[in-house]
Amino acid sequence: MKVLIFDTTDAAVQAVADRLLGEIRMNPGVVLGLATGGTVEPVYERMVNSFESGEISFAGVRTFNLDEYVGLSGDHPMSYHTYMNRHLFSRTDFAAYNVNIPRGDVPDPTAEAGWYEAEISRHGGVDCQLLGIGENGHIGFNEPTSSLSSVTRIKTLAPETVSANSRFFDRVEDVPTTSITAGIATILRSRKVALLATGEKKSHAVAKMIEGPLSAICPASALQLHPLTEIYLDVAAASELTLHDYYQAVHPNGRTDVP
């Protein structure tokens, strides 16, 4: 696990965007795992900027999003389909046939979950997975006590997730309580992982993920098992790390080009 602590939030965001753009430059047919949430919005904004300035094309990139709310149609304003279209897909040249997001409004969400897991495998797996982290340590909608060997399936949202996500809805009662989410084993099968966490609210979960015991109570701690994970943090998100000075010495201001 590479722990990269940046002086500013902007620098952490830019580094993640550069990481993803670098993957695409290396392999224009790369398979990216994508995430939703407030934290990664500015990453997508930077990807859009690169596209608009003619630096990059996404035409050959295949994507698999982590999750979707059960019950929301793709055109529901709060669905993750809409989020992705608004922040990335409709503003760039991603091809619709390369974009994959679990469908939340299907009659049989369990069958959809199984199909989605198989689709990821059928396309050779995810090369690089972008992640955020919840204040409760979730990745995707893998809430605390999710099995560390889980695959794509239906998960009930934890009360704190419903409450955190209610800021995007008119009323807390409107937040769906179940989701289809890639599992922890699904995420661990990605060849590389880039997780972004910013702000003080994430500092506790970040410390448990990096320095806590490997435990289902903090699903993100499963990333300790992954050989190629990079954690991108701003100073606030890194503030509870015990070995903070060590990480800074190894990668000063997030630099990875120093021995």
Q: Catalogue the active-site residues.
A: 67, 136, 138, 143
Cα distances from 127 to residues 61, 153, 155, 191, 254, in angstroms, run 11, 21, 24, 5, 22
Q: Candidates 22, 28, 29, 38: give the one binding ligand PGA (CB under 6 A).
A: 38
State how beta strands 128-131 and 153-156 pair. Answer: unpaired
Stretch that binds ligand PGA, among 19-27, 31-39, 68-76, 94-102 (CB under 6 A): 31-39
State how beta strands 178-181 and 67-69 pair. Answer: antiparallel
Total residues binding ligand PGA (CB under 6 A): 6
d(CA 23, CA 32): 9
Stretch that binds ligand PGA, among 36-44, 99-107, 231-239, 241-249 (CB under 6 A): 36-44
d(CA 57, CA 122): 24
Q: How far is CA 246 from the centre of its chain?
A: 26
- Residue 38 or 124 having the CB closest to ligand PGA: 38
Q: Candidates 39, 50, 152, 229: give the one binding ligand PGA (CB under 6 A).
A: 39
Of all residues in the shown chain, the one whose CB is closest to ligand PGA is 37
Maximum CA extent, the chain: 53
- Residue 56 or 158 having the CB closest to ligand PGA: 158
What residues between 184 and 203 interact with ligand PGA by CB under 6 A? none
Q: How far is CA 208 from the centre of its chain?
A: 17
Under the criterion CB under 6 A, does residue 219 sit at the interface with ligand PGA? no
Under the criterion CB under 6 A, does residue 176 sit at the interface with ligand PGA? no
- Residue 39 or 50 having the CB closest to ligand PGA: 39
Q: Is 79 helix (H, G, I), strand (E, B) or coil?
A: coil
Under the criterion CB under 6 A, does residue 37 sit at the interface with ligand PGA? yes
Q: Residue with structure tokens 């919005």?
A: 41
What residues between 101 and 140 interact with ligand PGA by CB under 6 A? 132-134
Tokens of 26: 């290396």
Which residues bind to ligand PGA, rule: CB under 6 A?
Answer: 37-39, 132-134
